[in-house]
Amino acid sequence: MLLFCFVLLFAEALGAKEDRAHCKMLGSTESPLLSKEGDFTIGGAFSIHTEISKPSLSFTDMPQQLKCSRMNLREFHFAQTMIFAIEEINNSSSLLPNISLGYKVFDSCGSTLPATRAVMSLMNGEERSLGKTCSFQSSVHAIVGASESSSTIAILQVSGIFQIPVISHFATCACLSNRKEYPSFFRTIPSDYYQSRALAKLVKHFGWMWVGAVRSENDYGNEGMATFISAATQEGVCIEYSEAISRNDPSEKVARVVRIIRHGTAKVLVAFLAQNDLNILLEEAVKQNVTGLQWVGSESWITAGHIASKRYAAILTGSLGFTIRKSKIAGLQEFLFQVNPCHDPQNDILREFWEESFGCSFNPSMHGQIQCSGSERLDDINNPFTDVSELRITNNVYKAVYAVAYALHDAFKCDENAGEMNQSCKWKDPLKPKQVVENLQRVNFTLPSGERVYFNENGDPRATYELVNWQKNQAGDTVFVAVGSYDASLPNGKQFTMNGINIIWADGSFERPQSVCSESCLPGFRQAMIKGKPICCFSCIACAAGEISDSNNSVECSLCSLEYWSNEDHSKCVPKVIEFLSYGETMGALLATLSLFGASLTLVVLYIFFRFRHTPLVRANNSELSFLLLLSLTLCFLCSLTFIGRPSEWSCMLRHTAFGITFALCMSCILAKTVAVVFAFRNRRPASTLPQCSAPLQKTGVLSCTSLQVLVCVLWLTLAPPYPYRNTAHATDRIILECDLGSPVGFWAVLGYVGLLAVLCFILAFLARKLPDNFNEAKFITFSLLIFCAVWLTFIPAYVSSPGKFTVAVEIFAILASSFGLLFCIYAPKCYILLLKPERNTKKHMMGRSQLK
């Protein structure tokens, strides 16, 4: 970093501008691992080694130069692919026909410090001494790499000052799409902005609402995981834990992360890891025997063949993840098989590659190792270098080289209209890096495989992925099977699709694992958040009465509409039970039976009185009024039937008016009989000696009193008649079908009038209670009216407080109780004499007691 700052100050001191030449940088540079001269040079930065030494920083001695070790055959494969593409372009007569491309390949070691050293070496050239003059041309015109986002950022911090284009094949950090910070950056792999969202949709698609997360502690892992967590949260997915590791971490920290994973309750682990970091994590997972997890991986490792080994099979079986589409590159395999250190015996990287591939050594002093002859055949082995079955990232390297070539082709205005053999490119002035950047932004070409290559305004390609699943073939080897796809350019809802191929899960079965913090709430329940827990952790609470939830994991219950109620499971709204006093239920049937029994009994009494109508007892009690009273009592019993059954317009109008008129008629008859008794004994003559005009007066009185009640009822029905009413306010779980009074004044006027007649009868009967017993029925009338008044006085509070159909039952009970009271108290003694004591049914006996006085 100090060197970088010095470069900036030095450039400013020289007045460097965008279109000025690049100055020779200070510091130690190194020779490229692989190189070839050409008219224009493309640089390459690959993580050919994965481990880096940690020099001792004592500040007393010169620090040792960083040393990289442990060769990465996959990255060396990428470097050779870059060389293959350059050689293919040099042999092309249509692309840069009279221009040759050279290359310089450096090792970034997967770390920022070696990456910075590599980019400086690419820009400076190979000189190791202090340059005394400024060169007018950079060593390279474009850089392909690096494989890690952090290393790529380190390269851009140096190369970006001079706008040297960097085209990465594997750096996916979304931060690199920032054109203000990285205006000269391009890549042939989609940004993690899309991959992270695709992973969030994948997790949601399979119903995994409770997942763990582990990431690389670098720009790639931190940026990608932050985007994933944000997108997953929007999808309703919760993260149980999110841990970070680095290949440079002490073993204790890695062991702690694995323990967290092993003890976590999430059954799905999203691993946003670089390959080197994953290797360390898997080694510790093997030690702690971590199995049974469903791994969801990023494109960095999900198709890495060396990871899909039998050593990790128990851990990674059934892994899922997005990767870019694989392709085929004609001639690449043959080119790779031709790589041999014998072609360049002095090249150390080729010798190291050969020793790594065949487990031999060119150094005869190495004890216990096989001597390398150089005649070994690469087509006899299978390793990440020779494997061309999964050309995904390899194809990105291939596309990056061709993108630079097409940009140069356009910059030099190569004549495409001329014949194939006569094409030429015109270039005289030095090519400025800014020109390459501008032409890279505009490139749009199609590879021989049919794939179209172009960059958007942020330097990113089209974001399309394959969803791959780790499955076993018949030989027991792990293969990557495409089971779906994701295209970020499509509208939401259509981006993620499955192709119908069965997925093998972590346990090796076809049964998808479940990963939730809380079990799903069934219909009829709602989620209730648990304090201090993520939203995915909840308890299930049953919906309240009248509320439902008709799906799993309902956040809240829905209230049923006014005429509906929740069923027993609270999963559906059903029509409310309509309640009314019906003949089909026990109470309605019993009341109807009592009503018919009372009417029948009254008719029997009427028959008895009619049969004995000529006897002194019947004649002495005014037979016409007795018959009329019995008829009114019969109607009183029958009117109670109008209160039973489903209310309708006619039944609502009939029930109260019939009740009022029949009881008014009944009370009028009793009043007439009572008045007749009182007047008869005040004249000290028996009833038979009353004036002949008394009978018409009694009839007139009955008719007048009844007519007044009829008038009240007619006014009531005319002005505000009763009507059927669906009462939903009194009870929440049912609809009470009842008769609304229409006018409460009319109802209480009818009831009050009947009460008034009853009180008058009671007073008169009470005054006549001490008249001669043999002839007097006033005391029986008094007792019957006492019962009548007691029943109806009790009725009022019971009527007001009784709910639903019980209101009607109370009214019917009052009608029947008062009717039975009148019937038994007035007519039972007379029927007793008529049927059982006929000897007392004589005129002499009727007047005997009167004569004694």
Q: What is the pLDDT of residue 10?
A: 38
> Is residue 771's pLDDT more than 50?
yes
DSSP string, 559-576: EPPTTEEE-TTSSSEEEP
* Spatial separation of the C-alpha atoms in residues 295 and 290, rounded to whole Å: 12
**pTM of the shown model:** 0.66
Cα four-point dihedral sign 775, 780, 614, 840: negative
Tokens of 746: 């009319």
Pairing of strands 166-168, 142-145: parallel
> Is residue 4's pLDDT more than 80?
no
Residue burial 774-808, b: 16+ Cβ < 10 Å; e: rest: bbbbbbbbbbbbbbbbebbeebeeebeeeebbbbb
Beta pairing partners, 415: none
Model pLDDT for residues 467-493, shown as the tens digit of each residue: 999 998 888 888 999 999 999 989 988
Cβ atoms within 10 Å, residue 102: 17
CB within 8 Å of 159: residues ≥ 6 apart: 119, 122, 123, 143, 166, 184
* Spatial separation of the C-alpha atoms in residues 121 and 140, rounded to whole Å: 10
* Spatial separation of the C-alpha atoms in residues 521 and 541, rounded to whole Å: 8
Q: Lowest mean pLDDT of 129-133, 329-333, 656-660, name the range.
A: 129-133
Could you tell me which residue, 842 or 266, shows the higher pLDDT? 266
> Is residue 157's pLDDT more than 90?
yes
CB 119 within 8 A of CB 15: no
Q: Lowest mean pLDDT of 176-180, 268-272, 301-305, 610-614, name the range.
A: 610-614
> Is residue 425's pLDDT more than 80?
no
How distant, in Å, are the alpha carbons of 89, 90, 168, 263, 391 from that of 398? 11, 14, 11, 43, 10
> Is residue 420's pLDDT more than 70?
no
pLDDT band with cut points at 50, 70 and 90 for residue 675:
confident
* Spatial separation of the C-alpha atoms in residues 489 and 102, rounded to whole Å: 36
Beta pairing partners, 455: none
> Is residue 243's pLDDT more than 90?
yes
Model pLDDT for residues 90-123, shown as the tens digit of each residue: 999 889 988 899 999 999 998 898 999 999 999 8
CB 579 within 8 A of CB 565: no
Model pLDDT for residues 504-519, shown as the tens digit of each residue: 998 888 899 999 888 8
pLDDT band with cut points at 50, 70 and 90 for residue 681:
low
Residue burial 455-466, b: 16+ Cβ < 10 Å; e: rest: beebbbbebbbb
Stretch 694-698: mean pLDDT, rounded? 70
* Spatial separation of the C-alpha atoms in residues 7 and 136, rounded to whole Å: 16
Q: What is the pLDDT of residue 417?
A: 52
DSSP label of 47: -
Model pLDDT for residues 570-588, shown as the tens digit of each residue: 999 999 888 888 888 888 8
Model pLDDT for residues 458-467, shown as the tens digit of each residue: 999 999 999 9
Q: What is the pLDDT of residue 419?
A: 47
Q: What is the pLDDT of residue 687?
A: 45
Tokens of 217: 């502690």
Q: What is the pLDDT of residue 199?
A: 95
Q: What is the largest CA-CA distance in the chain?
A: 165
Percent of the chain residues past pLDDT 90, beyond the cut: 43
> Is residue 337's pLDDT more than 90?
yes
Q: What are phi and psi of 41, to 5 degrees?
A: -115, 135
User: Which of 76-90, 714-728, 818-832 is modeled with the greatest confidence?
Assistant: 76-90
Q: What is the pLDDT of residue 769?
A: 65
Instruction: Name the residue with tokens 């990456």.
Output: 115
Q: What is the pLDDT of residue 64?
A: 73
pLDDT band with cut points at 50, 70 and 90 for residue 169:
very high
> Is residue 747's pLDDT more than 70?
yes
Q: What is the pLDDT of residue 846?
A: 63
Tokens of 374: 């150089």
Model pLDDT for residues 561-572, shown as the tens digit of each residue: 888 999 999 999
Amino acid 797 reads P
State the average pLDDT for the chain: 84
Stretch 169-192: mean pLDDT, rounded? 94
Q: What is the pLDDT of residue 669?
A: 87
> Is residue 183's pLDDT more than 80?
yes
> Prior bond to 146 cis, omega within 30?
yes
Beta pairing partners, 541: 526
